[in-house]
Amino acid sequence: MSDLPPIRHRLSFPAPWTHDFEVETRLETEGCRSLELAMAVWTPGSYLVREYARHVEGLCAEDERGAPLAVRKTRKNRWRFECAGASAIVVRYRLHARELSVRTNWVDAELALLAPAATFLFDPAHPERPHELRISPYEHWTAVECPLPGLRDGAEFVFHAADYDSLVDAPILAGGLEIHERVVEGRPVKLVQAGDVARWDGAVAADACARIAATQARFWGGLPYEEYRFFNVVLESGGGLEHRDSTVLLSGRAVFAQRREYRRWLGTACHEHFHVWNVKRLRPLELGPFDYENENLTRGLWFAEGATSYYDELLLRRSGLVSVEEYLEELGEFLSRYLATPGRLVQPLAESSYDAWIKLYRPDANASNSRISYYTKGAVLCFLLDAELRTRTADRVTLDDWMRAAYARWSGARGFAEGELEALASELAGVDLSAFFARALHGTEELDLAPALAAFGLRFAPETTPAPAWLGVAARAREGRIVVEEVRRDGPAWCAGVSPEDELLALDGLRLEVADWSVRLESLPVGLPLELLLARRGRIRRVSVVVRPQPQRVRKLELDPAATPEVQARRASWLSELA
Ligand SMILES: [Zn+2]
């Protein structure tokens, strides 16, 4: 706890329809001749330098009597203020907030969704310094929600953060909010909604959130927070971001129109809530204390995101919110997508984590060929490891035990170092698993899924139809044109010299139409040279392409009817609801 006086921020929204809002930051100088304040360049959970300072406009400073003070930028994200004997300085700036995502700022007449890292200045010499936050909402907004201790003071909402870390971990949602509160293990679990909630069944979603919290509480052995908020902004689909005691979800309007969409939303909610433990408390050594002004490189995201991705769907199943059939459908698609990604044989998993800042968060047209997501392969590793632990210990040890043991060891002041989770798995299993991790975490060779599928009594359903013809491109209709977005390495189009951004014009003498090009591609004759007409940078080109059968289709997983009683019992305990 710092004995420095708090930095006091005030936010006001005089004209939110312009997407602009005003920030005033006041702090005591403590007799300093000059002070330097900074704005974060990234926010935890989203591993990309976003340069939040680029949205700052008209920054100026004055003393407590209103006399202007000199200010000069000293870095891309820092400002130095000359105090000139003043006892306090007041900094004012405007922020333009028109980037709708879970880690940036959005303000309009209806609502404000603010990422604190993108909003507030902090004292880089004293990140332990407390912050006070006063928010004057736009006149038509009825509520401000933020997971910090606070109160309403007349027209203003006041919140207190013990230090800068706590401030950054507390997203702000203001507007005409719809709040559904449930109680899980004596703790309030709130669904706080804004946006187009008319077609959204908040009560059903809030019940599901409570069910997720209750299932995870049973998994981990209690809830580590006093209160939790699922912030749900219903405007367009845009994922989620985890915080210590809350999450921000960006959701599509039509989620309740389709069971599948709703399942996806449940999966995201379950994923983000699992982060309460995995990454917000149990974390890689490198992810705390954070350096808010530089990349924080870690090889540990395969666990932080991979294990969370493995459990998000599995715990939905164990919560009873999805059926066994729905879970297997999801897992089958997930494994199929993994097997269809050539980059799994190029980039090691630990490296995928380390390079998140320059690769996963900066995808390009060659990404699938050259990279594998640590979410995806991390979850595959966990699936394989779960089977490995169960089969090697006669079902005495499961991945659940590994998670809980890791939490007991590394959720305190110190996170886990490289190699420690792997050593813990060997310790729990009583056998050396280093060869498993060398292959799955540090290698690029193909991982055999068959033993894990057999261990859980699962199999891919036999194919009943021949594979469709495959060109090996991902393309999209753009302004009436069919434009290539990705070319699969070593696929037919790759071998023919097709490139991303090429426009596909005609194939086998027939023009390709936006309306039915993908169906036409699938019915092409396989194994014969065909003429493909394309346009690249305005020039027409002809290439010869030999279409092949699609090598990896999305496949259905099913329960293996030949599973032994022992395997059936394991499968049942793996998939059964947590009582
Ligand atoms: Zn995540």
| Predicted pLDDT at 169 | 98
Compute, in angstroms, the gap from residue 272 CA to the centroid of ligand 1.
6
| Predicted pLDDT at 352 | 98
Residues 6+ apart with CB under 8 A from 505: 511, 512, 533, 534, 535, 540
Compute, in angstroms, the gap from residue 268 CA to the centroid of ligand 1.
8
The per-residue pLDDT for range 306-322, each reduced to its tens digit, is 999 999 999 999 999 99
Compute, in angstroms, the gap from residue 275 CA to the centroid of ligand 1.
7
Question: Which band of pLDDT confidence, cut at 50, 70 and 90, is reported for residue 579?
Answer: low
| Predicted pLDDT at 281 | 98
DSSP 113: E
Compute, in angstroms, the gap from residue 311 CA to the centroid of ligand 1.
11
The per-residue pLDDT for range 275-297, each reduced to its tens digit, is 999 999 999 999 999 999 999 99
Compute, in angstroms, the gap from residue 170 CA to the centroid of ligand 1.
17
| Predicted pLDDT at 314 | 98
The per-residue pLDDT for range 176-217, each reduced to its tens digit, is 999 999 999 999 999 999 999 988 999 999 999 999 999 999
Q: What mean pLDDT value characterizes the chain? A: 96
Q: Phi and psi for 528 in degrees, rounded to 5?
A: -110, 145
The per-residue pLDDT for range 7-53, each reduced to its tens digit, is 999 999 999 999 999 999 999 999 999 999 999 999 999 999 999 99
Q: How many CA atoms lie within 13 A of 480 on its CB side?
A: 0
| Predicted pLDDT at 351 | 98
Give all domains of the chain, ordered by start, each with its CATH number. Answer: 7-174 (2.60.40.3650), 178-258 (3.30.2010.30), 301-447 (1.10.390.10), 469-549 (2.30.42.10)
Compute, in angstroms, the gap from residue 224 CA to the centroid of ligand 1.
18
Compute, in angstroms, the gap from residue 14 CA to the centroid of ligand 1.
35
Residues with CB under 5 A from ligand 1 (ion): 305, 308
Pick the closest to residue 279 from 163, 374, 146 (CA basis).
Answer: 374
Residue written as token pair 């089969």: 391
Dist. CA 191–CA 179, nearest whole Å: 6
